């Protein structure tokens, strides 16, 4: 019996196979994004130019702020975040604070970044808003920004009593403040 992850990939996988990070490392470096969540493979195509412009702008602004205030480092995809052998993702942008720099290795991030930013695409919209939100909440991400480049708007989630809770919806030109970035 085969199944298709209709959310973002067209790869057939037997139901009883649960992939690990070791399996993920064997996949080709072909420009696609390969991630596993609870052992299930998610494949998305290379992002389009508008997506990359938004990621670049966010990264430049965030990196400049972090450098000025010596708060930590920013990284962009492709860079693996390994939560467990069965949960490995490549967020569009992530921030690791100096206080949590021990999660950073030369090859990947071993544990939760302080901040994860995902820029929505047609192929990732549902996964970013639901599956990854739950994943990031489960593994201790402090803040999660979901950027909708089409609107433009952003949903801001912060760690609360019940995991990641939406604290703000931003529209174009709204200012964002964060306890992670004082």
Cα–Cα distances (Å) from 6 to 16, 28, 112, 152, in that order, read 18, 21, 27, 26
Look up tokens 């450098």; give the residue. Answer: 67
Rounded mean pLDDT of 1-19? 57
**Which comes out higher in pLDDT, residue 3 or 86?**
86
R_g of the chain computed on alpha carbons: 16
Long-range own/partner contacts, residues 93-100 (CB < 8 A, 24 or more apart) = 93/55, 93/58, 93/59, 93/62, 93/117, 93/119, 95/62, 95/66, 95/180, 96/72, 97/71, 97/72, 97/180, 98/70, 98/71, 98/72, 99/72, 100/72
pLDDT digits (tens, 9 = 90+) for 34-85: 999 999 999 999 899 999 999 999 999 999 999 999 999 999 999 999 999 9
What is the third-level CATH fold of 48-171?
Answer: tt1808, chain A (3.90.1570)
Question: Residue 170: pLDDT band by 50, 70, 90 thresholds?
Answer: confident
Question: Residue 174: pLDDT band by 50, 70, 90 thresholds?
Answer: confident
**Which comes out higher in pLDDT, residue 31 or 132?**
132
**pTM of the prediction?**
0.88
Residue 21 has pLDDT above 90, yes or no: yes
């Amino acid at each position: 019996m085969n199944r298709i992850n209709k959310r973002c990939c067209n790869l057939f996988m037997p139901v009883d196979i649960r992939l690990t990070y070791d399996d993920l490392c064997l996949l080709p470096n072909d420009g696609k994004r390969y991630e596993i969540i609870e052992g299930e493979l998610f494949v998305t195509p290379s992002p389009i130019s508008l997506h990359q412009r938004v990621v670049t702008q966010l990264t430049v602004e965030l990196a400049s702020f972090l450098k000025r205030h010596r708060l930590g480092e920013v990284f962009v995809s492709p860079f693996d975040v390994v939560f467990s052998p069965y949960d490995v993702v490549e967020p569009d942008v992530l921030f690791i604070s100096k206080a949590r720099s021990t999660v950073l290795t030369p090859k990947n991030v071993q544990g939760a970044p302080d901040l994860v930013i995902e820029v929505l695409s047609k192929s990732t919209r549902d996964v970013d808003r639901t599956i990854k939100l739950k994943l990031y909440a489960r593994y201790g991400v402090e803040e999660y920004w979901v950027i909708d480049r089409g609107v433009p708007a952003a949903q801001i989630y912060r760690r609360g009593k019940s995991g990641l809770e939406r604290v703000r919806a931003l529209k174009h030109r709204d200012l964002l403040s964060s306890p992670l970035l004082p």
